[in-house]
């Protein structure tokens, strides 16, 4: 029997500042994929979290006169509130300061050291003494420290290194024999040609110049440097190397790591090599999505070019933001985040296409049949085309979702609503009512509500509040995928109270 489990992750974000709309982008997408897989019968584990160690966070806390843990605790409380306001249903929010994670990372480090894949050496770099930071030549700005602008000097530091070079050939072979591993394909070529083929250098994996990190258990003046700590979250979260590793046994390897394009490199070079060194299977896919930009540039705290995402949620609703993030940008490409685009998506798709359709239809049912869903055997010449479109949608959604073409999947669901609006124009129910053509009118309204019901079921993973509200208004009990055969809608039920789900927003109102 096919193993119907599905393990999906987001990156663990740095809590150096509150999360912004770019972090929401990745997380809403992962949440929708997780919900979609669940709806399709998979046993899903959805992991997100925070990457809390490192000099940058240590410094921020020092500047405020608090401990790094106090600093990140506040940000994480805020992040969890943000995720709940967006309806993110993760199975675990892992923090790299969680004691179980710390212990597993120390065990992993020791295991690799015992095996000879981690060794002690010397790190050479350009050092800024006031900042206590090492820099590479290319990071310098005009030959000076990029943080404080002062002179740097060559320095050496004892450090542990991870033997990436040993695994280079195995990695290339793996990537070439598993074309689905790095997606989109353009990123795969970039990894091979720009990073792997020129030769992998061993990676420095410990530091002695700061202490906000996980200490090396057998040499505690060293803290484990970012990537080994961070990447291990994907297995530590499941209990790898702990007493209860049942989740690890059940869910590993990951089916999908969703990451932004700038960290594909770490996830497709360091991470698979770390797993090879641990004799563990590799994740099935790493998908590197593009960036959301604002006014053509990076979303950045220091530029102050963004609002707290909760402000948009308060103005437009949770689902309006989810929908925008899922629908606007082809997954894999860069795209723009702007409030104008958000308003225009909201008005066109949510208020006009679906909101209006539901409201018009339920109003007609109330007017003509006192809100009771009825059926008749009389057909109209437009039924078959509507029904066949509705019945073919699930297959299309699945095809798109298999390729992670999420905007296209959503658009094919919206095709149901657009087609239904056209069906109203074609069948002109108000004329049927005038002509006392009650049987035809019953058919038209039944077909409309049935199309709406099926569309709403398909929307559940993406905009769950909206989909649930539509299903509540219809008052149907048939809300699962096994009821999407056209004609499964109950008859002789009375619809619930209803009001427009989305009110149009005028540009100057916002």
Angle at 6 between CA 3 and CA 9, to 5 degrees: 155
CB-nearer residue toward ligand MSP: 307 or 507: 307
Is the backbone peptide bond immediately before 25 cis, with ω within 30 degrees of 0?
Answer: no
Q: Would you say 270 and 165 are in contact if contact means Cβ atoms under 8 Å apart? A: no
Cβ atoms < 10 Å from Cβ of 363: 13
Residues 37-56 that bind ligand MSP (CB under 6 A): 51
| Least CB distance to ligand MSP at residue 406 (A) | 14
Cβ atoms < 10 Å from Cβ of 484: 19
Question: Which of 14, 46, 240, 312 is close enough to bind ligand MSP by CB under 6 A?
Answer: 14
CB-nearer residue toward ligand MSP: 265 or 394: 265
Q: Report the interhelical angle of 438-459 vs 383-402 (nearest 10°).
A: 0
Asked whether position 11 contacts ligand MSP by CB under 6 A, the answer is: yes
Q: What is the total count of residues that contact ligand MSP (CB under 6 A)?
A: 19
CA–CA separation, 128 vs 212, rounded Å? 18
CB-nearer residue toward ligand MSP: 260 or 330: 260
CB-nearer residue toward ligand MSP: 293 or 378: 293
CB-nearer residue toward ligand MSP: 239 or 283: 283
CB-nearer residue toward ligand MSP: 97 or 393: 97
CA–CA separation, 158 vs 14, rounded Å? 26
| Least CB distance to ligand MSP at residue 481 (A) | 29
| Least CB distance to ligand MSP at residue 497 (A) | 39
Find the part of the chain contacting ligand MSP (CB under 6 A) among 7-15, 195-203, 275-283, 343-351: 7-15
Residues 300-359 that bind ligand MSP (CB under 6 A): none
| Least CB distance to ligand MSP at residue 105 (A) | 12
| Least CB distance to ligand MSP at residue 303 (A) | 12
Q: Would you say 430 and 445 are in contact if contact means Cβ atoms under 8 Å apart? A: no
| Least CB distance to ligand MSP at residue 12 (A) | 5
Identify any residues that bridge with 372 across adjacent strands, giving them in sequence order: 494
Quick one: tokens of 455?
A: 């569309």
Residues 201-230 that bind ligand MSP (CB under 6 A): 230
Question: What totals of helices (H) and strands (E) does the chain contain, helices first?
Answer: 20, 15
Find the part of the chain contacting ligand MSP (CB under 6 A) among 19-27, 307-315, 407-415, 487-495: 19-27
Is beta strand 5-13 parallel, antiparallel or unpaired with respect to 256-260? parallel
| Phi and psi at residue 479, to the nearest 5° | -125, 10
CA–CA separation, 50 vs 225, rounded Å? 15
Find the part of the chain contacting ligand MSP (CB under 6 A) among 12-20, 123-131, 153-161, 488-496: 12-20
Site track 120-159 with ligand MSP (rule: CB under 6 A), x = hit: ----------------------------------------
| Least CB distance to ligand MSP at residue 51 (A) | 3
Quick one: tokens of 81?
A: 């509130």
CA–CA separation, 46 vs 10, rounded Å? 8
| Least CB distance to ligand MSP at residue 232 (A) | 8
Question: Which of 6, 7, 13, 323 is close enough to bind ligand MSP by CB under 6 A?
Answer: 13
Q: Would you say 253 and 282 are in contact if contact means Cβ atoms under 8 Å apart? A: yes
Question: Which of 6, 26, 33, 222 is close enough to bind ligand MSP by CB under 6 A?
Answer: 26
Cα separations in angstroms, 200 against 124, 194, 313, 428, 492? 17, 11, 44, 68, 69
CA–CA separation, 98 vs 95, rounded Å? 5
CB-nearer residue toward ligand MSP: 11 or 332: 11
Closest CA to 164 of 84, 269, 71, 258: 269
Find the part of the chain contacting ligand MSP (CB under 6 A) among 21-29, 247-255, 390-398, 415-423: 21-29
Closest CA to 231 of 254, 209, 207: 254
Question: Which of 23, 318, 394, 440 is close enough to bind ligand MSP by CB under 6 A?
Answer: 23
Residues 240-299 that bind ligand MSP (CB under 6 A): 259-260, 262-263, 291-292, 299
CB-nearer residue toward ligand MSP: 306 or 414: 306
Extended strands (E) in 275-403: 286-289, 292-293, 335-336
Cβ atoms < 10 Å from Cβ of 446: 20
| Least CB distance to ligand MSP at residue 22 (A) | 2
| Least CB distance to ligand MSP at residue 432 (A) | 49
Interface positions with ligand MSP (CB under 6 A): 11-14, 22-23, 25-26, 51, 230-231, 233, 259-260, 262-263, 291-292, 299
């Amino acid at each position: 029997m096919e193993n119907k489990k599905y393990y999906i992750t987001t990156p663990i974000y740095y809590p150096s500042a509150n999360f912004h709309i770019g972090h929401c982008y990745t997380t809403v997408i992962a949440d929708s994929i997780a919900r979609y897989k669940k709806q399709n019968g998979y046993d899903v584990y959805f992991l997100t979290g925070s990457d809390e160690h490192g000099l940058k966070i240590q410094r921020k806390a020092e500047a405020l006169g608090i401990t790094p843990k106090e600093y990140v605790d506040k940000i994480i409380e805020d992040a969890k509130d943000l995720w709940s306001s967006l309806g993110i249903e993760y199975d675990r929010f892992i923090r790299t300061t969680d004691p179980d994670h710390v212990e597993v990372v120390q065990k992993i480090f020791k295991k690799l050291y015992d095996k000879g894949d981690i060794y002690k050496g010397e790190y050479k770099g350009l050092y800024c003494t006031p900042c206590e930071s090492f820099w590479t030549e290319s990071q310098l700005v005009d030959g000076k420290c990029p943080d404080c602008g002062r002179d740097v000097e060559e320095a050496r530091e004892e450090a542990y290194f991870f033997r990436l070079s040993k695994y280079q050939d195995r990695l290339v072979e793996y990537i070439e024999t598993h074309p689905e591993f790095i997606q989109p394909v353009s990123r795969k070529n970039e990894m091979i040609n720009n990073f792997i083929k020129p030769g992998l250098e061993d990676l420095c994996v410990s530091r002695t110049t700061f202490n906000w990190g996980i200490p090396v258990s057998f040499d505690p003046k060293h803290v484990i440097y970012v990537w080994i700590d961070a990447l291990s979250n994907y297995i530590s979260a499941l209990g790898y190397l702990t007493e209860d590793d049942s989740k690890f046994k059940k869910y590993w390897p990951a089916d999908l790591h969703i990451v932004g394009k700038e960290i594909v490199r770490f996830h497709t070079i360091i991470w698979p090599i770390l797993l090879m060194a641990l004799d563990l299977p590799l994740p099935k896919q790493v998908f590197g999505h593009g960036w959301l930009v604002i006014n053509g540039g990076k979303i950045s705290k220091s530029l102050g070019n963004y609002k707290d995402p909760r402000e948009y949620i308060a103005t437009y609703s949770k689902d309006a933001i989810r929908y925008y993030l899922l629908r606007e940008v082809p997954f894999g490409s860069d795209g723009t985040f702007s409030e104008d685009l958000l308003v225009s998506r909201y008005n066109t798709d949510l208020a006009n296409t679906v909101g209006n359709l539901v409201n018009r239809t339920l109003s007609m049912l109330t007017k003509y049949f006192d809100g009771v869903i009825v059926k008749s055997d009389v057909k109209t010449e437009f039924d078959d085309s509507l029904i066949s479109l509705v019945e073919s949608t699930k297959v299309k959604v699945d095809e798109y979702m298999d390729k992670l073409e999420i905007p296209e999947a959503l658009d094919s669901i919206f095709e149901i609503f657009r087609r239904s609006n056209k069906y109203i124009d074609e069948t002109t129910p108000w004329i049927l009512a005038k002509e006392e053509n009650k049987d035809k009118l019953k058919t038209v309204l039944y077909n409309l509500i049935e199309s709406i019901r099926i569309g709403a079921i398909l929307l559940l993973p993406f905009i769950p509040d909206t989909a649930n509200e539509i299903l509540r208004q219809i008052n149907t009990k048939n809300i699962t995928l096994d009821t999407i055969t056209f004609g499964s809608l109950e008859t002789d039920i009375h619809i619930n109270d209803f009001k427009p789900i989305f009110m149009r927003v005028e540009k100057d109102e916002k």
